[in-house]
Chain A
Amino acid sequence: MPPGRDLAQRLAADVPDPELPFLTLGDLGILRRVEVDLEGTVRVVLTPTYSGCPAVSHMAKEVRRTLMDAGFHSVQVDTELSPAWSTDRLGPNARAKLEAMEIAPPPPPAAAPVALTLKCPHCGSLRTRELSHFGSTACKSLWRCQNCSEPFEHFKALR
């Protein structure tokens, strides 16, 4: 294995998402792979969450800048659609981090495709309802708790 691949992989995986900066590209399952050839050229492959996610070009720029700053002289970032990303690709840390930021995470891979109810991330009540199928970014929907009356965001399931 060429030197630096592990470092490149770790640095790319730790780049934060621009819209949910407490999550990294690794947490989100957006980083698909990192290759380093014998000349030291790094190739990073990302996959978009949604077809129209406007953050992808920003992520590519950030990955490039981070790796160049770390001393890699040549960095190429490509995107790949297949196999398609779904919320089942969220890493193990992602759900806990979403909850800590009071965003209701999508149901785990084994659960039913659409959650009938969500737990309020503020007070823990299950008396919640969807206000809107869509939210402030492509990956979220908007809910309200009927117990504490607080609105909250949900990282919606995509499968």
Chain B
Amino acid sequence: MTVEAAELSAVGIHEVALALGDDCLVLSHRLAEWTAHAPELEEEVALANLALDLLGQARSLLTLAGETEGRGRDEDQLAYWRDDREFRNLLLVEQPNGDFAVTMTRQLFFSTYQELLYARMAAGTEPRLAAIAAKGVMEARYHLEHSRLWVQRLGGGTEESHRRMQRALELLWPYTHELFEASPPWVRAADVGALPPPTAIEEPWRHSIEALLAASQLEIPDFRAWQSGGRQGRHSEHLGHLLAEMQHLHRSHPNATW
């Protein structure tokens, strides 16, 4: 006789919260790198705002990951005292900012994914994950609107902006398959209705991106050499450098306060 688990175990919640929290933390740090380097003042403010929303979501998710882990670790310990192999974020979010087209393409891919995922997670069976998603989905929607406007403007803009947008799509496309990879934690969470199955958001993601690119005179890259491994802790060389900078202060001065 098999007994179906009615709810997600603490370990299951920990794994999901850690993966999604790491996505937010790493992308937040990347966006913050634009501060003082953005092409115009309004956009600098915009990127910092996106970073702040994502950092807030990371804090909620990593706090939950710490509570369900049972080792007494809080958000800061998870953010600052793990090495790259222990991070579970998508490869997409750790990719360098590149030019503005690359940053906006990365944001478009991620926000489309996050909005679809959070909308379903908010209606899921795990109340603490659902609460974080219900809060985050409104922010994801706003980020999505922003990145869609830019992709459209750059795609249909000048010859140069179009060329850069198409190049950014080619550069980041290989990392999009990983968004829907059925990792064991995701499958466990989907089995009890805490998350949607990956296939349930893959289709709408593709439709949404394809329609936008078509309306922006951009082409879906023809590329299938997918890159993945982030959810298992196998990262590109970029994450180590990002963490070195992000964790430096905290590790040099443990428990320092302002």
B10 interface hit (Cβ, 8 Å): no
Contact B134 A83 (CB under 8 A): yes
Contact B134 A54 (CB under 8 A): no
Which of B100-108, B139-147, B163-171, B244-252 is near enough to bind chain A?
Answer: B139-147
Please give, as numbers and ranges, the residues of chain B lying within 8 Å of A158 by CB-CB distance: 138-139, 142
The 0/1 profile, CB within 8 Å of A marked 1, for residues 18-52 of chain B is 00000000000000000000000011011011101
Contact A82 B134 (CB under 8 A): yes
The 0/1 profile, CB within 8 Å of B marked 1, for residues 71-93 of chain A is 00000000001111110000000
Query: Interface majority SS on A: helix, strand, loop or mixed?
Result: loop
The 0/1 profile, CB within 8 Å of B marked 1, for residues 128-145 of chain A is 000111111010001000
Contact A84 B135 (CB under 8 A): yes
How far apart are B63's CB and chain A's nearest CB, in angstroms? 11
Contact A81 B52 (CB under 8 A): no
Q: Which of A52, A83, A142, A158 has the most CB of B within 10 A?
A: A52
A50 interface hit (Cβ, 8 Å): yes
A149 interface hit (Cβ, 8 Å): no
Q: Which of B73-120 contact A (CB under 8 A)?
A: none
Please give, as numbers and ranges, the residues of chain A lying within 8 Å of B42 by CB-CB distance: 131-132, 134, 142
Of the residues B46, B48, B139, B145, contact of A50 by C-beta under 8 Å: B139
Of the residues B43, B53, B57, B132, contact of A138 by C-beta under 8 Å: B53
Range class of the A interface residue count = 20 to 34
Contact A52 B130 (CB under 8 A): no
The 0/1 profile, CB within 8 Å of A marked 1, for residues 223-249 of chain B is 000000000000000000000000000
Please give, as numbers and ranges, the residues of chain B lying within 8 Å of A134 by CB-CB distance: 42, 45-46, 48-50, 146
Contact B138 A159 (CB under 8 A): yes
How far apart are B143's CB and chain A's nearest CB, in angstroms? 9
How far apart are A142's CB and chain B's nearest CB, in angstroms? 7
A53 interface hit (Cβ, 8 Å): yes
Of the residues B56, B127, B142, contact of A52 by C-beta under 8 Å: B56
A51 interface hit (Cβ, 8 Å): yes
Contact A52 B138 (CB under 8 A): no
Contact B46 A133 (CB under 8 A): yes
Also in contact, A84 and B49, with CB within 8 A (given A50-B139, A52-B55, A133-B145) = no
A48 interface hit (Cβ, 8 Å): yes
Contact A51 B134 (CB under 8 A): no
Please give, as numbers and ranges, the residues of chain B lying within 8 Å of A133 by CB-CB distance: 46, 142, 145-146, 149
Q: Which of B60, B127, B142, B146 has the most CB of A within 10 A?
A: B142
How far apart are B123's CB and chain A's nearest CB, in angstroms? 12
Give me the interface of B with A, judged by CB distance under 8 Å. Answer: 42-43, 45-46, 48-50, 52-57, 59-60, 127, 130-132, 134-136, 138-139, 142, 145-146, 149
Can you name 27 A-B pairs with beta carbons within 8 Å?
A: A48-B56, A48-B135, A50-B53, A51-B57, A51-B132, A51-B136, A52-B54, A52-B56, A52-B59, A54-B52, A81-B60, A81-B131, A82-B127, A82-B130, A84-B134, A85-B135, A86-B138, A132-B42, A132-B43, A132-B46, A133-B146, A134-B42, A134-B45, A134-B46, A134-B50, A138-B49, A142-B45
